[in-house]
């Protein structure tokens, strides 16, 4: 063999080896992943750095970010198509039952078991995995763990004059509310008009004691009513019939409580969708606001909220009727894989989920100040991070003692019917809370009662997620 | 000769084919499919529910449903208010812009702009205007000491807010149609009326208005059909809320189809709505025929 022939052969062999090494380095070279996502913190943070995933794996990722209202519509249409466009789907945990019963989402149990060490399965707060399960199958993976809790103006609560005035009026110390009555008192106390004084300064505009979500759009009012209802000791379903049971005493009390807060809310209260509601706290225009922690993360970042430049945000768990801790509802904003995509795309999508929700990325986002409502124990319990983000302790404590949120296949009926009826009640169109809740439950039950009891009971049964079973 | 006719018909058929195909794919097929759905229990989000034939059950549900009847009431209420103001203002503007005054041509063109904007954009523009805390409306009324009004977030104001936006957009349509009709009116009756010493109001009521009647009826029915279908502006501004204060028939159909995913019920509601529009159209043509016969 001549020297030239040998050289060509050697070069070919080297090229082959390099190519093989390269393809092992980038196992998903040529794979295109598309995610149907939301334009909120659980996605926006990650969207900025997806090129790093592409560099590592070779898979190209395109994230289409849509507003929350209307996103589920696109996902259902995508799920009903035989030719999927999106491999990755952003999922709010209440949708899991509806999408799970429709067979739209890939079961991630085997993937998670296989890669348990890599994803740090034991590091995830268990309720976050339960939250993403349907009939024991893990159908989505948490990308942001939520809890409904209270955000308040810590600087106002610390003001000596305000503290003194509060004690004089209510005969107890001003502190984060442990009971709903205290929540009401604080909201009432801090409701001030333009020209009044707040912490010694004359107000240039009205100041609101409270800002809650009362908008019916995408069931915002429903999702804020549910944790309040839970705080009063209520729950969704009748365990004997599998039908809507939200007409009892705790449910009525919760709705009446929400209505009692209306005078302390901005005049556009019926239009307060989550982003508008949290905007009041972010701009420092309200004293107290209970909302989902996915937006709380903005309160410590002066690039996203004005509050850190005006004062300081404080954080506490949701109140209860008697002040004794009660498991509240949690939530999860998660990533799921479209069940209809190819096996290779599923593997690539799972690799993306592992990368995007892993401890390394989560810690990096926390370190850089781009907070995500975290769901990993190691991050939430980190003293340095707790110092930086005081809400981490609240997230850890409340999620550890939480119950999963609604997960029923008829979730959309619940969300919409309660949204409309509660909105009408808050607006004074329906006379009593009992009537409003009765109307909503009747509408939900009119559909559910057509199904056999066995099926209804299966839908409300929260089977333990098998991925956590040893 | 026969060959030429046959060839012309063939050529005409070939030219019509693309239009017919587009019409079939975009209108006729979806309509037939919707008709098929209206008789079935079809839930897009729940494939586990058998998509069976249910006869007239969906129609029965729609026609006996409180929310549907409520949405019908809201639709007719909105229709009545918007049509009244669009016609009063539109005819008034038409009388103004047909005067031979300097700058009228430019004003006429400017007044037509709202009509040319897509309703979704109109909705977004009015969203900025109505926005409770930062909206222009509340800013300007604040300058004269009036408290902010929750335009789109109160059950008292939301329907009015939508009516204002719709009146703003569609008054130019009435103005344009009326102005065109005014310019084509014969001058003789006016001269006769003036010689008889009639006042301007008498001339308008007894000379102009009777001559405008056929055009105004045409415009009224066209606007009524459009107002009946109002959707875009409401979807952007209130999505039917607060409560169900602005839920029109179109919003009801949307909610059934794309919130509850009950495509069968949504399709049945669409057909009920179609029947109502068809009745309106029939009335329109009958009234046109009557007017023509009277002339």
Residue A7: the pLDDT is 61
> Could you give the number of structural domains in chain B?
1
From the list B133, B147, B155, which residue is nearest A268 (CB)?
B133
Preferred mutation among A97, A98, A268 to probe B, highest tally of B CBs within 10 A = A268
B259·A266 Cβ contact <8 A = no
* Helix or strand (DSSP H, E) at A8: helix A3-25
Q: What is the pLDDT of residues B234-291, one digit of tens each?
A: 999 999 989 999 999 999 999 999 999 999 999 999 999 999 989 888 887 887 777 7
Q: How far is CA A274 from CA A36, A244, A300, A367, B23, in A?
A: 21, 25, 18, 26, 42
Q: Which residues pair with A403 in a beta bridge?
A: A329
Residue A15: the pLDDT is 52
Cα Rg of chain B, angstroms: 24
Preferred mutation among B61, B134, B241, B255 to probe A, highest tally of A CBs within 10 A = B241
Q: Which residues of B223-244 are buried (b: 16+ CB within 10 A; e: fewer)?
A: bbbbbbebbebbbbbbbbbbbb
* CA B211 – CA B203 distance, rounded (Å): 11
Q: Is residue B97 part of a domain?
A: yes
CATH number at residue B138: 1.10.3720.10
* CA B83 – CA B170 distance, rounded (Å): 9
* Helix or strand (DSSP H, E) at B159: helix B158-183
From the list A102, A270, A423, which residue is nearest B47 (CB)?
A102
Residue A18: the pLDDT is 46
Q: Is residue B11 part of a domain?
A: no
Q: What is the pLDDT of residues A207-227, one digit of tens each?
A: 999 999 999 888 899 999 999
Residue B197: the pLDDT is 84
Residues A152, A209 contacting (CB under 8 angstroms): no
Q: Is residue B269 part of a domain?
A: yes
Q: How far is CA B132 from CA A71, B39, B194, B238, in A?
A: 25, 43, 52, 13
Residue A21: the pLDDT is 47
CB of B46 within 8 Å of a chain A CB? The answer is: yes
Q: Is residue B50 part of a domain?
A: no
Task: Please choose, from the candidates A328, A307, A317, A306, the residue with its C-alpha nearest in 3D space to the C-alpha of residue A175.
Answer: A317
Q: How far is CA A215 from CA A224, A270, A276, A424, B137, in A?
A: 10, 5, 10, 10, 21
Closest CA in chain B for residue A194: B147
B261·A103 Cβ contact <8 A = no
CB of B47 within 8 Å of a chain A CB? The answer is: yes
Q: Is residue B57 part of a domain?
A: no
Residues A414, A421 contacting (CB under 8 angstroms): no
* CA B119 – CA B127 distance, rounded (Å): 12
Q: What is the domain range of residue B168?
A: 66-294
Q: Which residues of B166-189 are buried (b: 16+ CB within 10 A; e: fewer)?
A: bbbbbbbbbbbbbbebbeeeeeee
Q: How far is CA B44 from CA A133, A271, B61, B253, B270, in A?
A: 22, 29, 18, 14, 17
Task: Please choose, from the candidates B175, B191, B275, the residue with its C-alpha nearest in 3D space to the C-alpha of residue B228.
Answer: B275
Query: Which letter does DSSP use for residue B187 in this model?
Result: S
Residue B126: the pLDDT is 94
Q: Is the dihedral of CA A408, A331, A152, A266 positive or negative?
A: negative
* CA B192 – CA A403 distance, rounded (Å): 85
Q: A229 is written with which tokens?
A: 């209802």
Q: A340 is written with which tokens?
A: 């209809």
Q: Is residue B12 part of a domain?
A: no
Residues A56, A355 contacting (CB under 8 angstroms): yes
Tokens 């909302």 correspond to what residue?
Answer: A291
Q: B142 is written with which tokens?
A: 């604040």
Question: What percent of chain B shows pLDDT beyond 70?
Answer: 98
Closest CA in chain B for residue A217: B239
Residue A163: the pLDDT is 97
Closest CA in chain A for residue B241: A216
* Helix or strand (DSSP H, E) at A146: strand A141-153
Q: What is the pLDDT of residues B68-126, one digit of tens each?
A: 999 999 999 999 999 999 999 999 999 999 988 888 888 888 999 999 999 999 999 99
* CA A339 – CA A345 distance, rounded (Å): 10
Q: Is residue B42 part of a domain?
A: no
Which domains, ranges and CATH numbers included, belong to chain A? 28-146+332-403 (3.40.190.10), 147-329 (3.40.190.10)
Q: Which 3 state secondary structure label does DSSP give A426? A: helix
Residue B5: the pLDDT is 82
Q: Is residue B234 part of a domain?
A: yes
Closest CA in chain A for residue B133: A268
B150·A103 Cβ contact <8 A = no
Tell me the pLDDT of chain B averaged across its residues: 91
Q: What is the pLDDT of residues B149-195, one digit of tens each?
A: 889 988 999 999 999 999 999 999 999 999 999 998 888 888 888 88
Residue B25: the pLDDT is 94
Preferred mutation among A134, A271, A410 to probe B, highest tally of B CBs within 10 A = A271
Q: What is the pLDDT of residues B202-237, one digit of tens each?
A: 888 888 999 998 899 889 989 998 999 999 999 999
Residue B189: the pLDDT is 86
Residues of chain A with pLDDT under 50: 16-22
């Amino acid at each position: 063999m001549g020297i030239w022939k040998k050289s060509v052969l050697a070069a070919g062999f080297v090229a082959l080896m390099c190519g093989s090494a390269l393809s092992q380095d980038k196992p998903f070279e040529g794979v295109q992943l598309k995610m149907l996502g939301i334009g909120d913190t659980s996605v926006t943070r990650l969207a900025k750095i997806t090129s790093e995933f592409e560099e590592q794996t070779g898979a190209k990722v395109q994230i289409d970010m849509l507003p929350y209202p209307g996103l589920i519509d696109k996902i259902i249409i995508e799920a009903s198509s035989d030719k999927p466009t999106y491999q990755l789907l952003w999922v709010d945990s209440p949708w899991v039952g509806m999408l799970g019963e429709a067979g739209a989402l890939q079961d991630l149990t085997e993937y998670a078991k296989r890669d348990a060490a890599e994803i740090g399965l034991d590091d995830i707060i268990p309720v976050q995995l339960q939250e993403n399960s349907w009939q024991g199958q893990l159908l989505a993976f948490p990308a942001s763990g939520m809890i409904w809790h209270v955000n308040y103006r810590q600087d106002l609560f610390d003001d000596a004059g305000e503290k003194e005035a509060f004690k004089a009026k209510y005969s107890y110390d001003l502190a984060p509310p442990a009971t709903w009555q205290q929540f009401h008192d604080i909201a009432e106390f801090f409701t001030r008009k333009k020209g009044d004084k707040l912490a010694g300064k004359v107000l240039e505009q009205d100041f609101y004691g409270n800002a809650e979500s009362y908008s019916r759009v995408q069931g915002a009012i429903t999702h804020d009513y549910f944790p309040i209802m839970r705080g009063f000791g209520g729950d969704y379903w009748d365990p004997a019939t599998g039908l809507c049971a939200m007409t009892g005493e705790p449910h009525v009390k919760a709705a009446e409580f929400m209505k009692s807060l209306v005078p302390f809310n901005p005049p556009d209260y019926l239009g307060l969708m989550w982003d508008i509601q949290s905007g009041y706290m972010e701009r420092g225009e309200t004293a107290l606001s209970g909302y989902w922690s996915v937006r709380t993360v903005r309160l410590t970042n002066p690039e996203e909220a004005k509050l850190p430049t005006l004062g300081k945000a404080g954080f506490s768990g949701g109140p209860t009727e008697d002040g004794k801790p009660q498991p509240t509802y949690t939530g999860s904003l998660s990533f799921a894989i479209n069940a209809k995509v190819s096996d290779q795309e599923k593997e690539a999508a799972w690799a993306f989920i592992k990368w995007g929700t892993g401890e390394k990325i989560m810690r990096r986002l926390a370190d850089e100040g781009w907070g995500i409502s975290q769901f990993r124990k190691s991050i939430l319990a980190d003293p340095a991070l707790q110092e930086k983000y005081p809400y981490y302790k609240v997230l850890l404590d409340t999620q550890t003692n939480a119950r999963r949120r609604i997960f029923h296949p008829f979730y959309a009926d619940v969300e919409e019917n309660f949204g409309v009826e509660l909105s009408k009640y808050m607006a004074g169109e329906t006379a009593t809370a009992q009537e409003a809740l009765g109307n909503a439950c009747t509408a939900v039950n009119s559909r559910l009662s057509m199904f056999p009891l066995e099926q209804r009971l299966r839908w409300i049964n929260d089977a333990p997620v098998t991925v956590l079973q040893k | 000769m026969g060959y030429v006719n046959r060839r012309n018909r063939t050529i005409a058929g070939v030219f019509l084919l693309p239009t017919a195909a587009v019409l079939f794919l975009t209108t006729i097929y979806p309509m037939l499919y919707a008709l098929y759905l209206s008789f079935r229990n079809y839930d897009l989000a729940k494939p586990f529910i058998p998509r069976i034939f249910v006869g007239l059950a969906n129609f029965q549900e729609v026609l006996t449903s409180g929310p549907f009847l409520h949405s019908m009431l809201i639709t007719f209420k909105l229709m009545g208010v918007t049509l009244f103001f669009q016609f009063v203002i539109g005819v008034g503007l038409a009388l103004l812009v047909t005067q031979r005054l300097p700058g009228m041509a430019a004003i006429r063109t400017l007044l037509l702009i709202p009509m040319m904007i897509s309703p979704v954009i109109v909705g977004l523009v009015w969203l900025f205007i109505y926005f409770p805390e930062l909206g222009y409306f509340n800013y300007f009324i604040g300058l004269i000491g009036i408290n902010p009004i929750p335009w789109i977030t109160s059950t008292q104001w939301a329907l009015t807010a939508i009516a204002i936006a719709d009146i703003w957009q569609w008054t130019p349509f009435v103005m344009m149609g009326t102005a065109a009709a005014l310019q084509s009116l014969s001058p003789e009756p006016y001269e006769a009326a003036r010689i008889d010493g009639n006042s301007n109001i008498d001339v308008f009521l007894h000379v102009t208005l009777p001559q405008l009647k056929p055009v105004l009826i045409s415009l009224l029915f066209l606007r009524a059909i459009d107002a009946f279908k109002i959707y875009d502006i409401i979807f952007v501004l209130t999505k039917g809320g607060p409560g169900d204060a602005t839920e029109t028939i179109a919003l009801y159909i949307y909610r059934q189809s794309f919130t509850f995913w009950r495509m069968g019920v949504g399709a049945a509601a669409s057909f009920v709505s179609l029947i109502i529009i068809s009745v309106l159209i029939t009335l329109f043509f009958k009234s046109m025929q009557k007017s023509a016969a009277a002339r």
